[in-house]
Chains A and B, each alone.
Chain A
Amino acid sequence: MLKKYSGHPYILWSMIFIVFPLILVIYYSLVKVSSETGRLMFSIEGYKTFMQPLYLKVFIKSVLLALEATALCLVIGYPIAYIIANMKPELQKFMALLLILPMWMNFLLRTYAWISILGKNGIINRFLGVIGLPALDLMFNDKAVLIGMVYNFLPFMVLPIYTVLSKIDKSVIEAAQDLGANSRIVMRKVVVPLSIPGIISGITMVFMPAVSTFVIPSLLGGGRSVLIGNLVEQQFLVVGNWNFGSAISVVLMIFILMSMRIMKRYDVEEEGEMNLW
């Protein structure tokens, strides 16, 4: 009996904090305060505004930057995951812990840390000064934002790939060797194909927060690197145009849903335990 109702608190919680706000966002993206009557009226002006080249450019830039960050995370994260998965079991746990450790710190704090590394008087520039090289302008550009994204989201790439890699049966790799595959062929024809579910999860888990982040660009990009996330933040908190802000959010949400849908196609193993989505 208890089992039957034990899910109800969660259902209630998700209704209040997920479904209801979602409906509100969609609602606000479709209504506007009329300048004449002062009442709420149906309007798709938010969506229309978004179609302007200025905003579309921001959108495309955000997607491209997020893709770049995801690709970098994959290129850096896969070898890390592979190396950890091939360590001794005790060492594996320790390494996985090291990887998660920064996540116990506040996200803002972690991102602020990069200011003291990349800033005008930051560690890198001071080091360059010591060896007599001119200071570099590292902060407040797209590169800084990219570094921030890769740093913050790398664990989300490494962990799912590591989980899948560590589950690959050693005898499958031995079987490939036995059939004449050297280590390069084993990697290309067996290990990588078998880890695709992990790669898919990793890509999804990095791309989604990367495309919608606003903290990283506002801290590391200053005002110069505006992304879609900043746009939403501005509309709600600075401009006060909820209609436009909600419209951007809805578009972004639909875009993410669509890209997840596409990713899912490449996921051969449908019933994979790792699959978070």
Chain B
Amino acid sequence: MSKRIIEGKSLVKSYDETLVVKNIDFWVKEKEFLTLLGPSGCGKTTTLRMIAGFEQPTSGTICFEGRDITAVPPYQRQINTVFQKYALFSHMNIFENIAFGLRIKKVPENEIKKRVERMLELVNLNGFGNRSINSLSGGQQQRIAIARALVNEPKVLLLDEPLGALDLKLRKEMQLELKNMQREVGITFIYVTHDQEEALTMSDKIIVMNDGLIQQVGSPTDIYNEPENAFVADFIGESNIFDGTMLRDYEVEFAGVKWHCVDKGFELSEAIEVVVRPEDVMIVPPAEGIVTGLVESVIFKGVHYEMVVRNGDLEWMVHSTDLSSVGEMVGMRLDPEDIHIMKKVKMHA
């Protein structure tokens, strides 16, 4: 259960002098749902393509169940891919698309039939076998692409932003479906996306990447609650990032005020960054607030109001279910565990 099925060691990839992936190490365990998350151009897709075998790493190795497969061509890897733009074979019907890999492996005809039917069932498209690819909607095409990969019973399934082309509602449905499918077939998924919400919903483990480097590895809860640096905090959900000073263990100063917090182990008076999630800020009457501020804008977001509160030089983004009006003075409080302290790093190279 806890065997490392895929492992990347010191992976580097450059295209004509441009470093796209800068020496990363990672691993995926069996039956795990791993997401590579990051903005476009962060190297996540390149990493995925190196696992699939479409790109050769400039240096470093990729291991599959402990064996070095860096030099193995894609068609000999027990890994299948779901492509961003589906990449279905438009000259074949749906049945033949799904059967493609099985036919190459010379699987007997009656077994092909059985396995394709089972896949069509899994992706909820029973009886679609004879239809042409062009008669399908985007969501249906994506399901066929998934079925085409899964029918080969790969040990690892790679998915390159497979839901990117779908509309929001369909995307949400497919996220759940994908997660269920992964549980059902019990294989390792490596998923690439730039959508943090998608990553948080589906993953067992998330690798946050930026600028060719791994920023943080952890479970969705870890990544959301304990971002390791300002990039991760900023990328995962909205957050306020303030400069601050760690006065001593469990005490931090920012926004001109001393706060109790739950962090320790910093140097005395170390300059740090403080991350505060907008939903963690409590709006109270000015007298009860630790800091006060002027409400500058209020936007209705459905479940909550999104407000910008000015406190001296700082702008606080606040999510609150209670309405405050523009121009009103409000107080703000924070629970100690909602103050996230991060070491200052030279970021955004």
Contact = CB atoms under 8 A, between A and B. Distances in A.
Do A and B belong to a common assembly? yes
Contacts of B2: none
Contacts of B303: none
A180 B87 contact: no
Contact of B75 (A182, A193, A268): A182
B85 A171 contact: yes
Contacts, number: 65
A81 to B, nearest CB: 18
Contact of A185 (B52, B104, B148, B149): B104
A178 B74 contact: yes
A274 interface: no
A174 B83 contact: yes
B343 to A, nearest CB: 41
A178 B91 contact: no
A268 B74 CA distance: 30
A239 B91 CA distance: 52
B324 interface: no
A236 B81 CA distance: 65
A181 B75 contact: yes
B225 interface: no
Contacts of A179: 75, 80, 100-101, 104, 148-149, 152
Contacts of B85: 169, 171
A171 B87 contact: yes
Contact of B81 (A178, A194, A268): A178
A193 B89 CA distance: 10
Contacts of A172: 87-89
A147 interface: no
Interface string B272-286: 000000000000000
B80 A194 contact: no
A267 to B, nearest CB: 12
B111 to A, nearest CB: 16
B51 to A, nearest CB: 11
Given A176-B100, A178-B52, A171 B83 contact: yes
A190 interface: yes
Nearest to B49: A174
Nearest to A271: B134
Contact of A180 (B52, B75, B91): B75
A171 B104 CA distance: 18
Contact of A175 (B76, B79, B83): B83
Interface in A46-80: none
A67 B84 CA distance: 43
Contacts of B336: none
B80 to A, nearest CB: 6
B74 A174 contact: yes
A275 interface: no
A181 B89 contact: no
Contacts of B52: 174, 178
B186 interface: no
A187 to B, nearest CB: 13
A1 to B, nearest CB: 37
A235 to B, nearest CB: 45
Interface in A154-206: 169, 171-172, 174-182, 185, 189-190, 193-194, 196
Contacts of B152: 179-180
Interface string B133-167: 00000000000000011001000000000000000
Given A174-B74, A181-B104, A182-B75, A268 B91 contact: yes
A274 to B, nearest CB: 14
B73 interface: yes
A101 B202 CA distance: 56
B87 A169 contact: yes
Contacts of B87: 169, 171-172, 174-175
B75 A194 contact: no
B177 to A, nearest CB: 21
B54 interface: yes
B105 interface: yes
A172 B148 CA distance: 13
Interface of B: 52-54, 73-76, 79-81, 83-85, 87-91, 100-101, 104-105, 148-149, 152
10 residue pairs, one from A and one from B, having the closest CB atoms: A179-B101, A171-B87, A175-B87, A180-B104, A193-B91, A177-B74, A178-B81, A172-B87, A171-B83, A177-B75
16 contacts: A171-B83, A174-B87, A175-B81, A176-B89, A177-B54, A177-B74, A178-B54, A179-B152, A180-B75, A180-B76, A180-B101, A180-B104, A181-B104, A182-B73, A185-B104, A190-B91
Given A171-B83, A175-B89, A179-B148, 12 more contacts: A171-B84, A172-B89, A174-B81, A176-B100, A177-B53, A177-B73, A177-B74, A178-B74, A178-B75, A178-B81, A182-B75, A190-B91
